[in-house]
Every structure is written in structure tokens, then in C-alpha cells.
């Protein structure tokens, strides 16, 4: 565990060390002048904090058999008698006996050393424990945050999906056309309306489900293409080539529709002479490969890039398949676009 040494943490440590240095000084000051005792305990406390902090950062790498917390605790434990000796040597007046020959000073030395060794390593241990707890709490909060972020994104994707299903671009155009035909009293109005109803019949049952099957998705796409063919009979041709063993494959709703709608909107519709759309659903080992190929105006002609539909689709594929699904969009020769979806084919059944 390596956490950065923040300023607040530094002040906290200092405060604890000072409090612990003052307490024994006040409790056992008989035989000392209070000020000299305070000076000594506070020095000990500060040295303990310094040693603790030093071994927290240094050395950068430790051998495997030596845990950093052990180094810190032992370091603090060893620093206490060393510091006490230093204090006593330095405070010996010139010409006086060494402190160990002075009975009173020796008693004070032993008392201080004893207190230092008793208090400091335990305090260091307690500090380490608290740091670890704080770290765990911090981790837990970070996990919570990450989870709620993921939940929010899943909800976002779901809402966008609902929107795409309920209000795709072509639906309003088609309704406007039905209206125009009905206003003009055209006998084609009911035909177009019937086709629209067929599309909605395929689309609506999927609204409540987080996943659909490739078979149902193909029905939806076929209803959509029939509808669009009715609107541009001379400009849109299409064909589906489907490996029937794959229709039970589970997939996110409107996965295929997004690709086909894109091909119509950005490929066929902007083209004067129109083109054709071929949908291939094939098995390749344990993968399912879906290709939507159009002969429309191609990439970069409409100035809209690939549309928001594709980036939303990528997001949904990520949510459903993790990294196991791939979407590639490439230019076709001599013109047009191929959108290729590569999915795992094992999630079959039910």
C-alpha cells in the first residue's frame, strides 16, 4: 500500500506524536524539571514521526521478505533508544560524568527508553492500521462510484435504444407520406399503412425486452426494407442471405436495423439511381458474421460521417458482449459501404 503523503496527514501525525509526547511527560515528571522532560519527549515524538515517514517512502523497493510496515515499526522502535542516548550524551555538561555513571540521570534514561520503546512502535502500528482502513474505505467508495457510473451508462443506452425503436427517422417520414396519400384520397394510402403496421408489429414486442433473437431482428429488417421499397420502388433493391441455424442467436434489439437503416439513409437515399442492399448472415466456426453491403453513395458523401446510430450500436454491443463483438465499416469497390458485425455464436438456445 503506497499512498501519497498529504499535508493533512502530516499534520495529523504530528498532532498525535505531540499528544503522546506530552502525556507521559505530565504523568511521570517527578525528578525532572517539566520543561527539560517535555523537550525530550517531544524530540522523541518528532523523531518517531520522521522515521515512520522516512521508511514509508524509502527505500523505493524492498526485498520480498521485508514488509514495509515491519520496517516502519522496527525503525521507530530502534530510533527511540538511539535518540534517547543521543539526547543524554548531548545534554551532559562539559566535564561532568557520563550519564550512565549518574544514578539519577541513568534512572531517567531508562524510564525514557522504556516509555519510548513501549509507546512508539505501538503507535506506529495503530497509525498503519488506520491508514489501511482509510484506504479500504476509499477503495469501496471508488467501487461504488464506478458501479453507479456503469448503471447510469446502461440506463442511458437503454433509453437511447427505446428512442431509436419508437421514433426512428423514417417512421415520421413514412407517417407524413401516409398522411399525404390519405389527404389526396389515394388508394395507395392503405397499402403503405399496412406495411407500416407490419413494421410496428415486428418492432413493438421488442420494446420490453433487453435482448432479442437474430430471427426476430431479421423480421424487423425485412418489414423495414419492404416499407422503404414501397417508398422508393425504382431505387431500392434488397436481398437477405441467412444461415437458418443462426436465427436463435441472442442479440441486442435493433442491432441489425441500425445497420440497414444507415445503409438506406446514408447510402441509397442520397443516390439518384439508388442501389441494392445485401444482408448476409453466416456462421464462421463459433462466430456469427453479419454483413450489410450497400451500393450507395459510399462513405463521406453525405458529410454526416457514420451517424450517431453506429456509435450507439458500438456502445450497446460492448454492454451485451463485452469485447467479444466487433463492428467494422469499410468502403466497397466500386462504391458503397460494407458494415460487418462479428459476434460470438455460442450464446444460442432458448
- Provide the minimum distance between the beta carbon of 178 and other proteins in the complex, in angstroms, as a whole number: 9
As measured in angstroms, the least distance from the Cβ of 165 to other proteins is 21
- In this structure, the chain runs to a length of 350
Is beta strand 236-242 parallel, antiparallel or unpaired with respect to 275-284?
Answer: parallel
SS3 324: helix
Q: Rounded to an integer, what distance in angstroms lies between the CA atom of residue 236 and that of residue 294?
A: 10
The CB-of-168 to other proteins minimum distance in angstroms stands at 14
Query: CB of residue 236 vs other proteins: minimum separation in angstroms?
Result: 11
Q: Closest distance between other proteins and the C-beta of residue 187, in Å?
A: 10
Q: Restricting to residues 268-307, which ones interact with other proteins according to CB under 8 A? A: 269-272, 274
Cβ atoms of residues 80 and 48 within 8 Å: yes
- Least gap, CB of 211 to other proteins (angstroms): 34
CA 129/CA 298 separation, integer angstroms: 63
Rule CB under 8 A: which of 93-122 touch other proteins?
none
Q: Is the CB of 40 or the CB of 235 nearer to other proteins?
A: 235
**Span near other proteins by CB under 8 A; candidates 115-123, 177-185, 196-204, 335-343:** 177-185
Contacting residues for 253 by C-beta, under 8 A, at least 6 apart: 161, 165, 206, 209, 210, 211, 212, 217
Residues 215-234 that bind other proteins (CB under 8 A): 230-234
Q: Which is nearer to other proteins, 46 or 230 (CB)?
A: 230
Least distance in angstroms from the C-beta of 270 to other proteins: 5
Choosing from 188, 201, 283, 328, the residue that interacts with other proteins (CB under 8 A) is 188
- Which of 84, 177 has the CB closer to other proteins? 177
- Please tell me whether the peptide bond between 331 and the residue prior to it is cis, using omega within 30 degrees of 0: no
Nearer to other proteins, 215 or 270 (CB): 270
Query: Residue 234 or residue 286: which is nearer to other proteins going by CB?
Result: 234
**Which cell goes with 14?**
504530528
Helix (H) or strand (E) holding 343: strand 337-344
Counting contacts by CB under 8 A, is residue 176 touching other proteins? Answer: yes
Q: Between 233 and 252, how does the x/- string for binding to other proteins read (CB under 8 A)? A: xxx-----------------
Closest contact distance (angstroms) between CB of 335 and other proteins is 14
Q: Secondary structure of the chain: what % helix, strand, coil (to 5)?
A: 65, 10, 25
The count of chain residues that interact with other proteins, using the rule CB under 8 A, is 24
Q: Tell me the HSE value of 79 on the side-chain side, using a 13 A CA sphere.
A: 24
**Rounded to whole angstroms, what are the CA distances from 44 to 30, 92, 138, 198, 346?**
19, 17, 32, 86, 68
* CA 322/CA 318 separation, integer angstroms: 5
Shorter beta-carbon distance to other proteins: residue 276 or 287:
276
Q: What are phi and psi of 177, to 5 degrees?
A: -65, -45
State the DSSP code for 211: -
303, 323 contact by CB (below 8 A): no
Query: 155-174: which residues touch other proteins (CB under 8 A)?
Result: 172-173
* Binding-site ranges for other proteins (CB under 8 A): 172-173, 176-177, 179-181, 183-186, 188, 192, 230-235, 269-272, 274
Amino acid at each position: 500500500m503506497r499512498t501519497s503523503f498529504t499535508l493533512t496527514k502530516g499534520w495529523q501525525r504530528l498532532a498525535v506524536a505531540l499528544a503522546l509526547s506530552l502525556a507521559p511527560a505530565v504523568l511521570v515528571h517527578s525528578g525532572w524539571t517539566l520543561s527539560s522532560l517535555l523537550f525530550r519527549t517531544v524530540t522523541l515524538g518528532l523523531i518517531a514521526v520522521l522515521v515512520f515517514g522516512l521508511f514509508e517512502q524509502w527505500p523505493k523497493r524492498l526485498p520480498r521478505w521485508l514488509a514495509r510496515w515491519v520496517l516502519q515499526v522496527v525503525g521507530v522502535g530502534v530510533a527511540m533508544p538511539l535518540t534517547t542516548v543521543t539526547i543524554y550524551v548531548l545534554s551532559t555538561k562539559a566535564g561532568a560524568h557520563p550519564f550512565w555513571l549518574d544514578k539519577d540521570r541513568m534512572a531517567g534514561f531508562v524510564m525514557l527508553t522504556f516509555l519510548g520503546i513501549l509507546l512508539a512502535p505501538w503507535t506506529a502500528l495503530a497509525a498503519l492500521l488506520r491508514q489501511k482502513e482509510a484506504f479500504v474505505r476509499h477503495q469501496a467508495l471508488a467501487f461504488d462510484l464506478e458501479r453507479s457510473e456503469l448503471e447510469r451508462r446502461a440506463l442511458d443506452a437503454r433509453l437511447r435504444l427505446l428512442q431509436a425503436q419508437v421514433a426512428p427517422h423514417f417512421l415520421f417520414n413514412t407517417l407524413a407520406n401516409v398522411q399525404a396519400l390519405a389527404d389526396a384520397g389515394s388508394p395507395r394510402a392503405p397499402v403503405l399503412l399496412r406495411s407500416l403496421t407490419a413494421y410496428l408489429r415486428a418492432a413493438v414486442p421488442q420494446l420490453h425486452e433487453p435482448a432479442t433473437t437474430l430471427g426476430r431482428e431479421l423480421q424487423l429488417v425485412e418489414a423495414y426494407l419492404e416499407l422503404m421499397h414501397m417508398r422508393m420502388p425504382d431505387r431500392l433493391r434488397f436481398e437477405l442471405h441467412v444461415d437458418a441455424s443462426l436465427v436463435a442467436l441472442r442479440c441486442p434489439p435493433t442491432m441489425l436495423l441500425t445497420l440497414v437503416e444507415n445503409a438506406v439513409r446514408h447510402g441509397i437515399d442520397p443516390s439518384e439511381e439508388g442501389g441494392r442492399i445485401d444482408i448476409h448472415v453466416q456462421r464462421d466456426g463459433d462466430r456469427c458474421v453479419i454483413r450489410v453491403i450497400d451500393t450507395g453513395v459510399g462513405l463521406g458523401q453525405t458529410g454526416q460521417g457514420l451517424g450517431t446510430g453506429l456509435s450507439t450500436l458500438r456502445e450497446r454491443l460492448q454492454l451485451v458482449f463485452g469485447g467479444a463483438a466487433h463492428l467494422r465499416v469499410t468502403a466497397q469497390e466500386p462504391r458503397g459501404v460494407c458494415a460487418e458485425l462479428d459476434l460470438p455464436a455460442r450464446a444460442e438456445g432458448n
